[in-house]
Amino acid sequence: MPLSINTPLLQSLPLSHATGTQVWMKMEALQPSGSFKIRGVGHACEQHHARGAKRFLSSSGGNAGLAVAYAGRRLGVPVVVVVPETTSERARILLGLEGAEVVVHGESWFEANELARSLETPADAFVHPFDDPLLWEGHASMIDEVVAEGVRPDAVVLSVGGGGLLAGVDLGLRRNGLGSVPIYAVETQGMASFNASIQAGDLTEIPVVSGVATSLGARQVCQRAFDVSKERPVVPVQVTDAEAVSACLAYLNDHRTLVEPACGASLALLYENKLSLRAHSNVLVIVCGGCTATIESLSGFRGC
């Protein structure tokens, strides 16, 4: 049985009315680990398991770490997840429920990642949160599913953190003959490392990340994500934290699905009409999910 599931593809009447075009939602928030991450992470873990890995290592206290923990439990492989001190108690509890060993280290993901890499032995497999071709191959399957249902999008809206989702969606579009379809890549203003690279014309690291959309908090996107922007139309878009949170709450009311602010960023492009999408007939938005989102946390962010 696959570690990820074939998620629903639903038309959104509220978002279609808001944008003046037909909007389709790929409901990745319904994945068993809570986000799209299990597609790529699950694919990578299955490959590593087949090659004899005795332990999985991760450096994410969010969606990627929870996906690794879920995959490890399903495959019967021990998992160690190194998380920074900023990781919420809820995330630590969820990791523990999946049976992962949780190690808290450092003030940021970068420090946690360094420790996780230092723990690696020849018997282990380190599962990167976003920068691995195995991940992109797994993520690409969501586009295969969309096309198999008879929808050929002429635009895709998604959120960008480290760029793994962007790289995977690009791969899925290419292998389905949709290599020229534009991708609207959305970040919150405090997490806009992709936009910084686009503006600089080269892969660029921003000095600090800030804001509520913590799953987007990579100071530099992966090289493949930047390369995609040179190979197809990619439009970088920024929204505020408040707009991302407002979109999450509107989405919960409209579609009865709770997502985190990182996902709310891409939804905000649609709810706030940041760009006109009327020239497109079938807009696909990746509802990427979010494992640790709660109504209480979103309500607490409302004043941001």
Interval 97-106: pLDDT, tens: 999 999 999 8
pLDDT average, residue stretch 61-73? 95
Q: Phi and psi (nearest 5°) for 254? A: -75, -35
69-72-78-83 Cα dihedral, nearest 10 degrees: -20
pLDDT average, residue stretch 72-77? 98
Percentage of the chain with pLDDT > 70?
A: 99
Q: Over the range 92-122, which residues count as b (16 or more CB within 10 Å of their CB) and which as e?
A: bebbeebebebeeebeebeebbebbeeeeee
Residue 304 confidence (pLDDT) = 59
- Helices 37-50 and 63-75 sit at what angle, rounded to 10 degrees? 40
Strands of the 124-126 sheet, one edge to the other: 101-104, 79-83, 55-58, 124-126
Q: State the CB neighbour count (10 A cutoff) for residue 230.
A: 9
Q: State the CB neighbour count (10 A cutoff) for residue 231.
A: 10
Q: Determine the residue type at 179.
A: G
**What domains can you pick out in the chain, each with its CATH number?**
9-36+134-301 (3.40.50.1100), 37-130 (3.40.50.1100)
Instruction: pLDDT band for 302, please (50, 70, 90 cuts).
Output: low
Handedness of CA 143, 148, 149, 150 (dihedral sign): positive
In three-state secondary structure terms, 150 is coil
Sheet strands (E) in 117-233: 124-126, 155-159, 183-188
d(CA 249, CA 3): 29
Q: What is the maximum span of the chain, computed from C-alpha positions, in angstroms?
A: 54
- For residues 261 and 212, the answer to whether their CB atoms sit within 8 Å is yes
Nearest to 32 by CA among 77, 63, 57, 59: 63
How confident is the model over 144-180, as pLDDT tens digits?
Answer: 999 999 999 999 999 999 999 999 999 999 999 999 9
d(CA 140, CA 175): 9
d(CA 190, CA 42): 30
- Helices 261-271 and 241-255 sit at what angle, rounded to 10 degrees? 80
pLDDT average, residue stretch 197-214? 93
For 244, residues 6+ apart whose C-beta sits below 8 A from its C-beta are 188, 212, 213, 261, 262, 264, 265, 267, 268
Rounded to the nearest angstrom, the gap between the alpha carbon of residue 192 and the centroid of all alpha carbons in its chain is 14
3-state class percentages of the chain: helix first, strand second, coil last, to nearest 5: 45, 15, 40
User: H or E element: which one contains 78?
Assistant: none
Q: Over the range 144-163, which residues count as b (16 or more CB within 10 Å of their CB) and which as e?
A: ebbbeeeebbbbbbbbbbbb
d(CA 95, CA 51): 25
In three-state secondary structure terms, 287 is coil
Instruction: pLDDT band for 202, please (50, 70, 90 cuts).
Output: very high
Average pLDDT over the chain reads: 95
In three-state secondary structure terms, 21 is coil
Residue 292 confidence (pLDDT) = 85
Residue 2 confidence (pLDDT) = 86
pLDDT average, residue stretch 241-261? 97
pLDDT average, residue stretch 93-117? 93
